[in-house]
Each structure stands twice: as C-alpha cells, then as structure tokens.
Amino acid sequence: MKRRDLLLGAAAMAASAGLARPAIAQPAAARVLRMVPHANPGSLDPIWTTAYVTRNFGYLVFDTLFATNERLEVEPQMAEGHTVEDDGKRYIITLRDGLRFHDGEPVRPADCIASLERWSKRDSMGQRLAALLDEMRPLDDRRFEIRLKRPFSLLLTALGKPSSNVPFIMPERIARTDPFKQIEEFVGSGPFRFNRDEWVPGSVLTFARNEHYRPRSSGTPSLTAGPKVVHLDRVEWRVIPDASTAGAALQAGEVDWWEQPNPDLMPLLRRHRQIEVTTQDPVGLAGIMRFNHLQPPFDNAALRRAIVPAINQMDFMIAVNGTDPAGIRTGTGFFASVSPLATSAGVEAMKGDLAAARAAIKASGYNGERIVILGPTDINAPKALSEVTHDLLRRLELNVDFQAMDWGTVVQRRNSREPVERGGWSVLCTAFGGYDFLDPSGHLPLRGNGTQGWVGWPTSARLEELREAWFDAPDLAAQKRIAAEMQALAFQEVPYLPLGEYIQFTALRRNVQGMLKGVPVFWNIRKA
C-alpha cells in the first residue's frame, strides 16, 4: 500500500533602528522581502544537518527532482517525468530541458546521482534506498536510471520528501563532499542565489532572484510542489535573537515576516492592524528530549527509562506555546497525532510522577555522573523545552550542568561524540515537524542504527527489524500493529522522549501575500 494512500488526509487534519543592513543599494521595497528566521543557521549544508533553518536555506538555493503537495502526493519538479520498468526495480528519470546551476553550468544526471548518493548517507529514507540500490548511472544528457535489488514503493516519496533531510540537487563537485563534512560552496539551481559576499554570520543573509530559473509550466503551488514562480528580486534574512526587538521591527515595518513569534508577544501582534498572525504548519511540530546513547550516564537504558514516569507533556507544551488548547496537543507518542499510525501504546507511562522516577533512578545504578544539557538561547521552542528539562532533571536530583548557547552552536556541538569532559553532551531538546514523524520511513530519531543515524546514536536491532517489517507490511492494519510495537519498544529502550505537539504560528505584514503552508518557502510570495 502506498504511503500517499495511507496519509492522504494527514495534512488536512491536522527597537528596530539598530538592525544591521548590508552596505549596498536597496531595490524597490515592493520587490524585497525581509524576514526574521527562527534561528541563526549554524550550518548552511542541508544534508549535513537536519536543522530546519538550514532546510529553509536549502529551498531558496537548491531544487529537487520531485516535490510533495499538501495532499502528500509526489509531483515532478526538476524531473520532466519518469518511467518504471522491470517490475518496479528500474526507474528512468528524465530532467526538464534547460536546467542550469547558478554558475551557468547545465544540470546533468551525474550531478543528480552524486547528490542522491551524498543524501543517502545521512537521511533515513535515503539509507533505505541505499540498502536496496543496485546502481545509479547516466543514460544520456538528461536521463539517468536507478536500478534496485527489489522494488521500493516509496522511492519517489523519498526523492520528493518535503522536510529534513531534503534530497537537494547540487553540482557534482560539491556533492562529492564527504557527507559527514560540511560543504563550503553554495551553488544550486533553485529560484534564488545566495549572496555569499554579503553574508554577515549571525546577522544577515541575502538572496537574489535567479533570473535564469525556469519554473514548471503546469500545476498549482502547494507545500513544496508546483511552479516556483518568484515575484521578489531579493530576500533578506535578518537574524534577531531578541524577541522584543524582532516584534518591534515587524510592527514598525522594518521587516515583513517574523517566522516564529514568541507566544507572549502574539496577543500584541494580533491587535496590530497591519500584521496577520497565522498558522505556518497545520500539521504541527513535536517536541523531543534526545539522549546521548554513546556516553554515560544515558548509555544506561535503565536510567533513560527512569525519566519516563517523570514526564508531564503539558508542562513542556505550555512553556512552548502557552495555555491556548488550540495551540498544543498532549498525550502524544512517537508518531504524529495526524498520522493513521498514531497510537497510545506506552503513553500512559508518562504520568508526571517524580517519586516513581526518583526510585527508578536510584535502582538504575546512576552514580552522580554529570549530565550536560545543551540549551539554546535564541530559538523559542527548543529553548523552552530545554529549560523545562533542566528544571525537571534538577528536581529528580540528578547532577545537571545546563550550558546555554545560541542555536547555531547547538547544531554544531550536538554532532560531538566526545565525553562531556571533552565538550560532549548528554541531553538536548528540539522539535520536528509532523511531516517527519508520519511513519517509520523518514523518522530519524526513531532509528536504531547507531553511529550511522541521527545525533544521539541509539543502537537497537529490534527497532531496525520492526522498521524493515513496516516497509514490507501488506496493508494499513499490519502497519498499525508494527507501529504500536515500535512505540511500546521505544518506551522501553528510550531513543528519545516525546514531549507533546504544538502548532507553530507565524506573523507577517498584511501586504505580504501568497505564503504557502507547510514549510517556509519564498516563491509564490509577493508584496502588494
């Protein structure tokens, strides 16, 4: 059964004067969009990191072979089309005519193959493709083939996935970079060019319209699919960590869009006649508490399990999004609540019982080892989740070292596998969009593939076996049974803990029109 059929309804259910400015002439205001991103990007490589701010950068600069619309249907993007042969084991993908990178070079099948190879080393669905892959090879200037050892019904879903890690296409010379090292050149074929010479790290990133970009000639813009028609000459990201300053800049018209306004400022923004507060992602986001499985003390499964009874998701969600019930969901597990695979298996273990948790911690053999929490200071949801986690672990009488830093530093440092004495970490909190938690195929934090997986690196042969079984399940009922077993196991092995779900709001000046729902993209937007 196809993933699209299973999940078709998921999306539906679901003081500004001091701002830094690049020292260049400014185009007409109506053709320039200034946005405050939710964080300073610590990395600009959307394959090396899953950070959403880097994914959003990727959508400006790079393009994809396929894309996904709001109904979770896969559509061609850079691809003109494809054929399937040999009982689903041979895909031939044809590129659209005239595709070029920002440096003027044509997009070749070799670029696509190298990009997919690099992506497949880091992404969960990419790793599944790599395991089934026989070979990828060019056929001519516009066509290449993907040969599989056995059919993979989610191949196009993987190539068109809307969220991290997105299989962006890069020039071959860039895509040949070791996937565990960051790229240093940012040349794509997407609708905007990154103005690297104007980049002020931690302050300003700017993008110019790619005048040679050729959008698809048919379809309807939806999520990441459809024609990417650009109405702007320039996009500027203004990194403003202070919420009050960002709010003041939006009210004064110094910026046009604040991607993630703080909940305590939203009532003020809603009262402003020139500002609209709306939902960016109707599916919602899931907060998680991630443990480092490679280093003490959370290499001890008994200690990880001991934290489970202490969790009260409401505490975390109120800290993130306030008390409005329309903005938070609790009682959630390891799969997005809008997914047909969502299950209550094991959820009852999270009951906010500190006494039970303390007893379990004592029985776990914990011996006072230092626990380092990486706590971001400049991104609302992970900041709130981290602060509640710090308070909770402190009340559980654990030896907690809360280390506060900007999100960009967290993104860099969380890749360290060293002990805490050498700059490592024990716990971090973040959030993933519901699109990433719909099922096991792209669910990075639910993998048990050790050092080949996402930061935290849990190893669980049984989780991996169940994931494989899910791919081979004959129908939705079987997939649900496997998902429930995976979740029950996850509450025992604890690769991470689910902290609830929240709806992310965004705030724009009312003259900004055409924002697409789902992930922040900059085509289809115009300023009236």
Report domain extents, the chain: 28-238+506-527, 285-502
Is the confidence at residue 496, as pLDDT, over 90?
A: yes
Neighbours of 117 (CB within 10 A): 18
Is the confidence at residue 5, as pLDDT, over 80?
A: no
Same fold, 28-238+506-527 and 285-502: no
pTM of the model: 0.91
**Cβ atoms of 78 and 115 closer than 8 Å:** no
Is the confidence at residue 403, as pLDDT, over 70?
A: yes
pLDDT, average across residues 58-70 = 97
Residue 146 makes CB contacts below 8 A (sequence gap 6+) with: 90, 91, 93, 133, 136, 155
Local confidence band at 20 (pLDDT 50, 70, 90 cut-offs): very low
Q: Collapsing DSSP states into helix, strand and coil, what is residue 178?
A: coil
Neighbours of 491 (CB within 10 A): 19
Higher-pLDDT residue of 277 and 4 is: 277
Local confidence band at 326 (pLDDT 50, 70, 90 cut-offs): confident
pLDDT, average across residues 123-128 = 96
Q: Output the CA–CA distances (angstroms, integers) from residue 457 to 432, 442, 447, 454, in the order listed.
A: 17, 16, 9, 6
pLDDT in tens, 425-461: 999 999 999 999 999 999 999 999 999 999 999 999 9
Mean pLDDT of the residues in the chain: 94
**Cβ atoms of 307 and 510 closer than 8 Å:** no
Is the confidence at residue 13, as pLDDT, over 90?
A: no
Lowest mean pLDDT among 11-15, 150-154, 164-168, 312-316: 11-15
CA atoms within 13 A on the CB side of 240: 30
Q: Which two tokens stand for residue 107?
A: 């997009």
Q: Which CATH number fits domain 28-238+506-527: 3.40.190.10, 3.20.20.70, 3.40.50.300, 2.40.30.200?
A: 3.40.190.10
Please state which CATH class domain 285-502 belongs to.
Answer: alpha beta
pLDDT, average across residues 252-269 = 95
Q: Which two tokens stand for residue 259?
A: 């991607």
pLDDT in tens, 209-242: 999 999 999 999 999 999 999 999 999 999 999 9
Local confidence band at 27 (pLDDT 50, 70, 90 cut-offs): low
